[in-house]
Every structure is written in structure tokens, then in C-alpha cells.
């Protein structure tokens, strides 16, 4: 039986993207796979009165079950209200959808937004697949994100060795032929905790830390010139906070040379037509750092709440910092 997202108290991305572009901020798109991530995301975004996009990847669906995740998102709307956010704006979004059938099944089960990622396909096939998803999703007012250009990086379900920047000369044709509501682009970000090879970076002489090369803001500018006011999405935007990497390494982990996107660059992007910024790895790092610390300091502990609780607290702190200090999405609900 099909259900529409509006009956679940969810919203699509259309209005929040317009406000984000006009206001010079970006909506956080946080991936979730489990209860603790969801609690932390909703607590941070509701208390800070930020719109939020809950992202479900193929990996998350395999891990947690797509039906369960959908009901958790419905529960999240009620939880947001219970903790004092009267008019939450929560989007349930399919991250990196790879087929029409998957996107359709998410639309039918109450997702309010889907991504169809045809970026690895030949251009014409990407256009045709994306158009098919848009035609279906728009019948139910579900918004659609498409992608042009390929991000480097390896994760469970998303992988490519090389990065191909989005070609600005293709964006008008792609958006007009497909009818997408937003466009994910490639300007040098990548998925995971190893966004750049050490040889691509310089070294900060004071801290010895790797300093990554800047994002290709010239490509972003050229895209914005072709598509004035069109919603742009940045994937692979974790900053890989070195404090979490250090905790993980201190307590028995092994994450050498993990490096992310510097926050100043994400602040700059948020002020432009980039209105959705995807963050997953930073949540994984915060969770792992907190759990490793408890395991090392309290080896006798065996109640999962005693290590998942601190993990949840650290993720909430991280989500709050993203919202207030990086994306500027706090106090941006239509009805505060
Ligand atoms: O873009 C990819 C997301 O970080 C999700 O990754 O497929 O491992 O859940 P995942
Ligand atoms: P990160 O790996 O940088 O968190 O990117 C997540 C992402 O793009 C999800 O689609
Ligand atoms: Zn992504």
C-alpha cells in the first residue's frame, strides 16, 4: 500500500532550498543507519530550529531495513514536536538511488525526496534515467536530485578511483531535459575519510597536519552562471575533524592520513547556490571515537547504552557545530 510523505508530516526540499539560496545558507543532509544517529540529528536540528534532510543510502537499507528506516523517520517528526519544535521541516531522502525501481519504491513508501545517481552512466543514459524518475516522483510532489560529474572515493556502495569535475557546458541541457529539482556536482569533494592522497596535500609546518588542495570554486562559479538560482548539492562534504581521528588513533584505531574538506570552504560554499551539503563520515568518526574511548577506559563495560550513549552525545555536538558554525541553517524554519 502506497503512502504519501505529506501524511507522515515530512516535507520535500523545494521551499527550503529556495530559502537557503536566497538567505546564503545550506540545509544539512545527514545520513542515518541507526537509532542513535537519528536521535542526535533530530535533537540537534530541532533545538536549533534547522530544516534537516535525513538520508538513507543503499548501504543503510541493507543494514537497517528500508521499512524500519521509513517508520523511524515518521517517528522522528513526532519526536521533534515532543522536544519543542512545533513546525519541524524534515525531509526523508534516498541517497544515491541507482535504479528507477528503487526510486519508485521509496516514493511509494513515503520518502519526500530521492536522488537518482546516473553520474557513472554515459550522458544520454543519465538524462533518460533521471527524466524517468522525475516524471514518476513529481506526480507525488517528491523532489528529485540528479548528478553530473563523478566524485572520487570508495565506500560500501559508491566508488570511483578518479574524480571528473562537472562540465559547466552540460548543466543547462541536463537540468532542462530531466526536470530535476537540484543538481549534485563534482568540484573536488569525495566520499569517505580519505578525501585526498597525501601527495595531493601540503603540510602545515606548525602542526604537521595535511592541508588539502582547495575545491574548484571556479567550476562552481561557472555552473552558477549557467544556472542562476538553481539548487546545487555537494556530496562528500565531511571535514574529517582531526580531534576525532586523534581519539580513534589514540585508543587503538588506525586511520593514518585521514583528511576532509576544510570548514572554511564549506562555509564559503554554503553562502552560494550550494543549498544541500552531505555529511556522513563525520558522524561515523564521532561515533567510533566515543565508543573506542569507553572501551579503552572502561573495559568491564558491556551495556551498549554505556557506549552508544556517549557516541550519541558526541554526534549531537558535531551536528550542532555543522548547523551553527558551518552551514548557518539554525533558526531557518519557515515557522519558528
Ligand atoms: O555517499 C555515501 C554515503 O556516505 C553512504 O554510504 O553506502 O556506506 O551507507 P554507505
Ligand atoms: P562524506 O563521506 O564526506 O560524509 O559524504 C557523504 C555523502 O556524500 C553522502 O551522500
Ligand atoms: Zn554522496
Using CB atoms within 10 Å of the CB of residue 220, give its burial: 0 to 12 exposed, 13 to 18 middle, 19+ buried: buried
Report the pLDDT value the prediction gives residue 160, as an integer from 0 to 100: 59
- H-helix segments, 83-216: 100-108, 123-138, 171-178
| Residue 109 CA from chain centroid, whole number | 21
Q: Judging by beta carbons within 10 Å of its beta carbon (0-12, 13-18, 19+), is residue 81 exposed, middle or buried?
A: middle
Name the DSSP class of 152: B
Active site residue 95: yes
Q: What dihedral do alpha carbons 107, 113, 119, 123 form, nearest 10°?
A: 70
Compute the half-sphere exposure of residue 77: CA atoms within 13 Å on the CB side of its CA.
17
How many Cα atoms occupy the beta-carbon half-sphere of 41 within 13 Å?
Answer: 32
Helix %, strand %, coil % for the chain, to 5?
A: 45, 15, 35
What pLDDT is attached to residue 319?
A: 99
CA of 115 to the centre of ligand 1 (A): 13
Q: Please give the sequence-ordered ranges of beta strands (E in DSSP) within the chain, or none if there are none.
A: 27-31, 52-56, 90-97, 113-116, 143-148, 153-154, 159-160, 182-185, 202-203, 210-211, 232-234, 274-279
* Distance from Cα 84 to the centre of ligand 3, integer Å: 31
123-138 and 100-108 are packed helices; what angle lies between their axes, rounded to 10 degrees?
20
The ligand 2 site (C-beta within 6 Å) comprises 31, 95-96, 191-192, 235-238, 278-281
Question: Is this structure's pTM higher than 0.75?
Answer: yes
Distance 113 CA to ligand 3 centre (A): 14
- DSSP calls for 80-92: HHHTT-SS--EEE
> Which residue ranges have their beta carbon within 6 Å of ligand 1?
31, 57-60, 95-96, 155-158, 191, 235, 280
pLDDT means per 10 residues in the chain (336 residues)?
A: 95 98 99 98 98 97 94 97 98 98 97 97 97 98 97 57 87 98 97 93 91 95 98 98 98 96 98 98 98 98 98 99 98 96
Q: Please tell me the predicted confidence (pLDDT) of residue 152.
A: 76
Amino acid at each position: 500500500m502506497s503512502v504519501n510523505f505529506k501524511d507522515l508530516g515530512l516535507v520535500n526540499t523545494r521551499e527550503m532550498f529556495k530559502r537557503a539560496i536566497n538567505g546564503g545558507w545550506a540545509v544539512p543532509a545527514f545520513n542515518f543507519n541507526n537509532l542513535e544517529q537519528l536521535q542526535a540529528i533530530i535533537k540537534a536540528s530541532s533545538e536549533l530550529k534547522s530544516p534537516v534532510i535525513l538520508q538513507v543510502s543503499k548501504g543503510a537499507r541493507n543494514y537497517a531495513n528500508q521499512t524500519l528506516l521509513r517508520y523511524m523517520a515518521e517517528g522522528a517528526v513526532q519526536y521533534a514536536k515532543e522536544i519543542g519544535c512545533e513546525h519541524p521541516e524534515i525531509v526523508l531522502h534516498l541517497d544515491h538511488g541507482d535504479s528507477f525501481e528503487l526510486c519508485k519504491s521509496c516514493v511509494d513508501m513515503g520518502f519526500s525526496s530521492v536522488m537518482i545517481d546516473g553520474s557513472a552512466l554515459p550522458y544520454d543514459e543519465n538524462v533518460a534515467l533521471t527524466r524517468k524518475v522525475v516524471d514518476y516522483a513529481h506526480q507525488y510532489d517528491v523532489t528529485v536530485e540528479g548528478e553530473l560529474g563523478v566524485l572520487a572515493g570508495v565506500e560500501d556502495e559508491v566508488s570511483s578511483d578518479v574524480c571528473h569535475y562537472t562540465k559547466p557546458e552540460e548543466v543547462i541541457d541536463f537540468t532542462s531535459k530531466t526536470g530535476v529539482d537540484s543538481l549534485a556536482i563534482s568540484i573536488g569533494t569525495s566520499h569517505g575519510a580519505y578525501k585526498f592522497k597525501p601527495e595531493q596535500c601540503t603540510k602545515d609546518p606548525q602542526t604537521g597536519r595535511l592541508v588539502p588542495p582547495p575545491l574548484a570554486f571556479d567550476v562552481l562559479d561557472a555552473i552558477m552562471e549557467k544556472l542562476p538560482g538553481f539548487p546545487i548539492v555537494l556530496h562528500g562534504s565531511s571535514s574529517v575533524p582531526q580531534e576525532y581521528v586523534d581519539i580513534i588513533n589514540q585508543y587503538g584505531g588506525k586511520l593514518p592520513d585521514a583528511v576532509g574538506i576544510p570548514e572554511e570552504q564549506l562555509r564559503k560554499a554554503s553562502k552560494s547556490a550550494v543549498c544541500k551539503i552531505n555529511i556522513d563520515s563525520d558522524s561515523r568518526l564521532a561515533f567510533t571515537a566515543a565508543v573506542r574511548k569507553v572501551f579503552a577506559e572502561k573495559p568491564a563495560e558491556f551495556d551498549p547504552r554505556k557506549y552508544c550513549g556517549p557516541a550519541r552525545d558526541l554526534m549531537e555536538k558535531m551536528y550542532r557545530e555543522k548547523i551553527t558554525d558551518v552551514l548557518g541553517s539554525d533558526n531557518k524554519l519557515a515557522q519558528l
